[in-house]
C-alpha cells in the first residue's frame, strides 16, 4: 500500500517532466519543419507580390523610352513641365486615399524638410530632363549605361559624403566601372556625359533624400508641388505664344502628355509595394531590369550603333556590377553591416 502510494506520487511527479519532454519534441519537430504552414504560405504570397511589384516597377522604367518616343516632337523641357504638373494632380488624391494626409501636411510645416525637398526636386527634375532628352535624341544606350553605373556611383557618394568605407570588392567594382567609362571616352572620342549626369543626378537625389526622412509617395508629391508653380508659368507662356503642344495637336497628344503622370507614379507605387516585402539583395538584383530594358530597346528596336568599343565598356560595367552584387549578397547573408 505504501509502495503503491509512493509510486502514484512518483508518477504524478513524472507527469510534468514527461509533458515537458513531449512539448520539447513537438517544438523541435515544428522548428525542423520551419514556420507554421499557413504562415509560410502567407510569406510566400507576400514575397511573390513583392517580386511582382518590384519587377513591374523596374520593367516600366526600363520600357519607358517607348512612351517618351511618342512625344518626340515635343521639346524635352515642355514634356518635363507637363510631367511635373500632371504627376502632382495624380499624386495628391493618392496621398489622401492612402491615409498620408497628416504626413504630407507635417512635411509642409517643416522648413528643414521643405528645404531638403526643394533640393531633391531640382535634382529629380534635372534627371528627368536629361533622360527624356537623351531618349528622344537617340541616346538610349547612354541612358542605359547611366543607370547601370548608378549603384556604383551610390557607393562612391557614400564614401565621399557619408564617410562609408569601401570594401575590397567594392573598390574593385568602382575601378572597373571607371576603367570602362575612361576607355569609352578615350577610344570613342566622346565622353559619356549623359551617362555620368544621369547617374550623378539620381545618386545625389538619393543621397540628399535620406536627410528628409519622408515616404516615397509623400516626398514625390511635395517635390512636384514645389515644381508645379514654375512649370505652370512655363506652360502658360508657351501656350499663349502658340508654341505649346497641349491643346494644339489633338486629343491623342494631350492624353499622352497627361499620361506622363502615370509613367511617373505607377512604377513608384509598385516599387513601394516591392521594397516593403523584399530584402535589399533581391531589390538589388531587380534594379538591373530597368537599364537592361533600355539597352535592349536601344540596340534591337531603335538600332542605335553598338561598336566594339561600347561592347568593351558595357562588359567592364557588367563585370563591375557582378562583383558589386556578389559582395552585397555575401554581406547580407552574413548579416554584417555594410
Contacts of 158 (CB under 8 A, 6+ apart): 164, 207
Closest CA to 85 of 242, 216, 265: 265
- Summarised one tens digit per residue, pLDDT across range 85-116 is 999 999 999 999 989 999 999 999 999 999 99
Question: Quick check: helix, strand or coil at residue 299?
Answer: helix
**Candidate from 72-81, 117-126, 283-292 with smallest mean pLDDT:** 283-292
In angstroms, rounded to a whole number, what is the distance separating the alpha carbons of residues 205 and 190?
26
Say what the pTM is: 0.81
pLDDT surpassing 70 at residue 33: no
User: With contact defined as beta carbons under 8 Å apart, do 291 and 144 qualify?
Assistant: yes
pLDDT surpassing 70 at residue 310: yes
Write down the pLDDT at residue 155. 82
For the ranges 69-83, 159-173, 310-324, the one whose mean pLDDT is highest: 69-83
Q: What average pLDDT does this structure show over 116-134?
A: 95
Mean pLDDT of the chain: 84
- Summarised one tens digit per residue, pLDDT across range 131-177 is 999 999 999 999 999 999 888 888 888 888 878 788 888 889 889 98
Contacts of 50 (CB under 8 A, 6+ apart): 273, 274, 275, 276, 277, 278, 282
**Candidate from 57-71, 117-131, 270-284 with smallest mean pLDDT:** 270-284
Amino acid at each position: 500500500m505504501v509502495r503503491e502510494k509512493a509510486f502514484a506520487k512518483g508518477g504524478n511527479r513524472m507527469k510534468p517532466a514527461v509533458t515537458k519532454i513531449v512539448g520539447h519534441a513537438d517544438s523541435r519537430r515544428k522548428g525542423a519543419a520551419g514556420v507554421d504552414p499557413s504562415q509560410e504560405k502567407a510569406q510566400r504570397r507576400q514575397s511573390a507580390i513583392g517580386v511582382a511589384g518590384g519587377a513591374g516597377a523596374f520593367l516600366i522604367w526600363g520600357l519607358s523610352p517607348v512612351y517618351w518616343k511618342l512625344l518626340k516632337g515635343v521639346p524635352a523641357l515642355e514634356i518635363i513641365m507637363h510631367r511635373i504638373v500632371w504627376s502632382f494632380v495624380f499624386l495628391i488624391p493618392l496621398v489622401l486615399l492612402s491615409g498620408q494626409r497628416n504626413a504630407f501636411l507635417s512635411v509642409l510645416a517643416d522648413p528643414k524638410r521643405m528645404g531638403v525637398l526643394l533640393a531633391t526636386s531640382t535634382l529629380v527634375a534635372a534627371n528627368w530632363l536629361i533622360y527624356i532628352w537623351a531618349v528622344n535624341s537617340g541616346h538610349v544606350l547612354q541612358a542605359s549605361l547611366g543607370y547601370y553605373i548608378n549603384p556604383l556611383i551610390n557607393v562612391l557618394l557614400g564614401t565621399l559624403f557619408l564617410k562609408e568605407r569601401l570594401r575590397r570588392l567594392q573598390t574593385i567594382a568602382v575601378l572597373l566601372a571607371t576603367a570602362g567609362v575612361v576607355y569609352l571616352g578615350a577610344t570613342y572620342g566622346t565622353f559619356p556625359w549623359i551617362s555620368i549626369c544621369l547617374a550623378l543626378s539620381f545618386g545625389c537625389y538619393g543621397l540628399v533624400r535620406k536627410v528628409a526622412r519622408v515616404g516615397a509617395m509623400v516626398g514625390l508629391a511635395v517635390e512636384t508641388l514645389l515644381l508645379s508653380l514654375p512649370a505652370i508659368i512655363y506652360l502658360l507662356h508657351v501656350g499663349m505664344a502658340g508654341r505649346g503642344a497641349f491643346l494644339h495637336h489633338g486629343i491623342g497628344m494631350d492624353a499622352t502628355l497627361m499620361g506622363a503622370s502615370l509613367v511617373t507614379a505607377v512604377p513608384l507605387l509598385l516599387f513601394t509595394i516591392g521594397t516593403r516585402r523584399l530584402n535589399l539583395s533581391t531589390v538589388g538584383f531587380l534594379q538591373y531590369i530597368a537599364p537592361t530594358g533600355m539597352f535592349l530597346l536601344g540596340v534591337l528596336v531603335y538600332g542605335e550603333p553598338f561598336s566594339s568599343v561600347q561592347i568593351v565598356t558595357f562588359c567592364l560595367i557588367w563585370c563591375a556590377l557582378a562583383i558589386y552584387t556578389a559582395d552585397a549578397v555575401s554581406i547580407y547573408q552574413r548579416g554584417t553591416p555594410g
